[in-house]
Amino acid sequence: MLPQSQSPSCSVPDLGSLLAGLLGPLLAMIFIVVPLVAIHELGHLIAARWRGIAIDEFGIGFPPRIATIARRGRLAITLNALPVGGFVRMAGTEEGSDEPEGWERASLRSKVLVMLAGILANLFLAFVLLSIVAGPLAERGVVVVGNVQVGSPASAAGIQTGDRIIAINGLPFERMGGSPFAAHVGEKVLLSVERDGATSVVSANLRGGESALRNGILGISIREVAAAGRFDRSLVEAMSIGASDTVASSVSVLSGLGAIVTAPFSGGGTGLTGPIGIAVSVSEAAGSIGVAGLLRFAGILSANLAVLNLLPIPPLDGGRIAGLLLRRALGGRRGKSVERRLILIGAVAMLALFAVVTFGDLVRIFSGQG
């Protein structure tokens, strides 16, 4: 037996510390993830009412129900216990329903428009948020250099630890716009570098391809991206950048989905994360990225939600549209039966995926990897 003074210590998480650690992700979930889903569902609601389809419930979060916030005619706006999404419950969804304003009585065009409306709502929100970040909240960034790799493009250009890179090819860059070097992969660029109060311009041949992925584009570690004042942009310029960033975010999620599909065959991980993992990432980064960074993250996430919902997988909107078209093509009871089965199979698959992803998020969090 070990002497008492040498006995191994066992660290038991303090309940207060555990609750404090969960508070940040919970707030991120409530104030970022849930609103994005609520906007998506609001798009469905507005389009449904426009097409004459009645709504029984607009739910914030998933049941069980906590309270009914408001009621307008037959529409109940409810607050629910699980802060991981939202839903719209339309009238007359039961097979064979003859309710005049019900879902079953609506035309195919109306149903498709209602499904597309949620996707368009997320894309519009992404555009608005990213335009705000590119306009009144846009800040110029300064890259403060940490370590410099031996033999890297930065080393060859004479860049040293502590240098401040303030412009690329004479143009300042956004603090929250991601890596300022990513748009110049494999190119020869001119970097404006500050050192000891003096500014010089140096030439650097940035890495490309596999070399950039393995070793970095410039070959530096970034100590921080400091703020260097506001951009002075017009409304048109901000909206143009917002639209461009929305498209870029939408395209990037397609590339990510391709990587997920090929990961099992290439031996890599999927990198999948769910609402909990997203909330944890946001809460951890909130202090360093500020309001502009959080809005940019929300805009990118909203665009990602739009693209994901376009996938022809029930019960996503794209899957519901595919089911509706298949139902029309097959016709009659057979079409309805196939549609119901597709929705059921898709729902089970999505729930299973959600469970696996959530389990992975929790494992990473409690093992200290997240």
Concatenate the DSSP letters of all residues of 5-39 into one string. Answer: GGPPP-----HHHHHHHHHHHHHHIIIIIHHHHHH
In single-letter form, the type of residue at position 138 comes to A
What are 150's two structure tokens?
């031996």
pLDDT tens, residue by residue, 259-317:
555 554 444 555 566 666 666 666 655 555 677 888 888 898 899 899 989 988 888 89
CB-based contact 232:172 (threshold 8 Å):
no
What pLDDT is recorded for position 257? 64
Section 29-47 average pLDDT: 88
What are 146's two structure tokens?
């940490």
Pick the CATH number of 139-230 from 1.10.3720.10, 3.40.640.10, 2.30.42.10, 3.40.50.300: 2.30.42.10
CB-based contact 47:29 (threshold 8 Å):
no
Q: How buried is 220 (Cβ within 10 angstroms: 0-12 exposed, 13-18 middle, 19+ buried)?
A: buried
Q: What long-range pairs does 58-66 form, CB within 8 A, spacing at least 24?
A: 58/86, 58/87, 58/88, 58/89, 59/86, 59/87, 59/88, 59/89, 60/34, 60/86, 61/34, 61/85, 61/86, 62/86, 62/87
Quote the mean pLDDT of the chain: 82
- Say what the pTM is: 0.75
pLDDT tens, residue by residue, 86-125:
899 999 988 778 888 999 899 999 999 999 999 999 999 9
Residue bearing the bigger pLDDT, 333 or 242: 242
CB-based contact 181:221 (threshold 8 Å):
no
